[in-house]
Amino acid sequence: MKQMIDELHHLTGTIGRPLKLMEVCGTHTVEIFRHGIRSIIPNTITLLSGPGCPVCVTSIRDVDAAISIAKQPNTVLVTFGDMMRVPGGKQSLLEARSEGADVRVMYSPMEALTLAQENSSKKVVFFATGFETTSPLIAGTVFAAFKKMVRNFSILSSHKTVPLALKALLDAPDVRVDGFILPGHVSTIIGLVPYEFVAKDYRKPAVVTGFEAGEIIEGILMIVRQIAKGEAKVENAYPTVVRPEGNPRAVEILNDIFEPSDAYWRGIGVLPGTGLKLRDRYQEFDAEARFHPQTTGVPEPELCSCGDILRGVKVPTECPLFGTVCTPENPVGACMVSSEGSCAAAYRYGG
């Protein structure tokens, strides 16, 4: 590792200007803070946390829709544990449960499907969040419900996709990024090809990395090498896990069940084509169409910088609420809720 750090110092000295690199994955964010990577790389490299935490980018509207569904009679709303404390317009799912809504935490959508099969008098809804890492599993669950004719099961899709979100960041005039540390988990599904526009159209280096400290530093070094040479490529520093073609079978299942849609990203806004909605053939499993949930239209909390942090415009400590009004015990913004949130990581390991 020392050899890589020494090379980083040499290369940044020859480049002669500050660099801003963005890690897109929430797990990378946590590991960068946990290992203190910022403290050992050259201080001319700024690491920014992008919109790679699925809990953080789930919108107030989507949380409100889930709460609205959970409060309907004979309905069970199932979700991943991290979603329970995410603030909606007026309350969280955890608070809705304390008022009597039947909200349950499960680790797999297939558990929710089994619950629906075993409780035919209940309407079971899975609040489906996440990126390409989890969406094929949700797609497989919907297909199983379709084949087994489990009519009391549906999903509320809040899925989002990564590549076009990067394009939106690159097109934003206030976002300044010199290169991307690409997500390892997402890339196991989609491979490298969907990122090629980053290098080809925007001339930005991008490298898929693993999650150990040495792997992350290697990815940073590969990006800086490209910058020093005036190159822009998509490279793979995680070849033991990520294949260039990704997982074609998972992508096939995903594309069979879902189609692209516009999606609202918390703190960012609507990004065209970055969401996933069920295709017409599977519309009977669309909870939004089935329940017509009510939403509040409440804006983001005043002074909360979560949106700017997710876009790489600010770092957590630049938020006026960080560590005082907003803490993991009393989160104001979603970036402080999830263990993968950049604010939560900065608070825990030192911003």
Mean pLDDT check: name the lowest of 105-109, 120-124, 331-335.
331-335
Q: How many residues are recorded in the chain? A: 351
CATH of the domain at 257: 3.40.50.11740
**CA distances from residue 170 to 15, 50, 93, 160, 175 in whole angstroms, order as listed:** 22, 12, 34, 17, 7
- Within-domain flag for 300: no
- pLDDT computed for residue 170 by the predictor: 94
- Both 15 and 127 in one domain: the answer is no
Percent of the chain with pLDDT over 70: 100
- Both 313 and 252 in one domain: the answer is no
- Both 266 and 145 in one domain: the answer is yes
| H/E stretch holding 33 | helix 26-34
- Within-domain flag for 103: yes
Task: Identify the top-confidence range among 146-150, 266-270, 307-311, 334-338.
Answer: 146-150
- Both 36 and 77 in one domain: the answer is no
| Residue 199 pLDDT exceeds 70 | yes
- Both 167 and 41 in one domain: the answer is yes
Helix axes 135-148, 248-257, angle to 10 degrees: 60
Please state the rounded mean pLDDT for residues 243-250: 96
Query: What domain range is 338 assigned to?
Result: 306-349
| Residue 45 pLDDT exceeds 60 | yes
CATH of the domain at 206: 3.40.50.11750
- Both 142 and 168 in one domain: the answer is no
pLDDT band at 266 (very low <50, low <70, confident <90, very high): confident
Single-letter amino acid code for the residue at 252: E
Q: What is the largest CA-CA distance in the chain?
A: 68
Q: What is the DSSP string of 151-180?
A: TTEEEEEEEB-SHHHHHHHHH-TT---SEE
| Residue 333 pLDDT exceeds 90 | no
- Within-domain flag for 278: yes
pTM value is 0.92
- Both 120 and 259 in one domain: the answer is yes
- Within-domain flag for 301: no
Question: Domain end: 196, 214, 236, which one?
Answer: 236
The contacts of residue 13 (CB under 8 Å, 6+ apart) are: none
Q: List, for residues 154-183, the tens digit of each pLDDT value.
A: 999 999 999 999 999 999 998 899 999 999
- Both 176 and 69 in one domain: the answer is no
| Residue 28 pLDDT exceeds 60 | yes
Please state the rounded mean pLDDT for residues 212-225: 97
| Residue 55 pLDDT exceeds 80 | yes
| Residue 330 pLDDT exceeds 70 | yes
- Both 147 and 265 in one domain: the answer is yes
pLDDT band at 351 (very low <50, low <70, confident <90, very high): low
- Within-domain flag for 36: yes
- Within-domain flag for 296: no
pLDDT band at 315 (very low <50, low <70, confident <90, very high): very high
Residue 335 · residue 342 · CB < 8 Å: yes
Distance CA 113, CA 145 (A): 7
- Both 139 and 204 in one domain: the answer is no
What total number of domains does the chain contain? 3
- Within-domain flag for 298: no
- Within-domain flag for 344: yes
Residue 164 · residue 131 · CB < 8 Å: no
Please state the rounded mean pLDDT for residues 77-98: 93
Query: What 3-state class would DSSP assign to 36?
Result: coil
Query: What 3-state class would DSSP assign to 240?
Result: coil
Distance CA 178, CA 187 (A): 20
How high does pLDDT run on average in the chain?
A: 94
Query: Angle 43-345-328 (CA atoms, 0-180°, nearest 5)?
Result: 140
- Both 187 and 229 in one domain: the answer is yes
**171, exposed or middle or buried, with CB in 10 Å at 0-12, 13-18, 19+?**
exposed
Q: List, for residues 270-282, the tens digit of each pLDDT value.
A: 999 999 999 999 9
The contacts of residue 44 (CB under 8 Å, 6+ apart) are: 12, 17, 18, 19
- Both 253 and 223 in one domain: the answer is no
- pLDDT computed for residue 192 by the predictor: 97
pLDDT band at 82 (very low <50, low <70, confident <90, very high): confident
**Among all chains, which residue has been given the structure tokens 């909870």?**
287
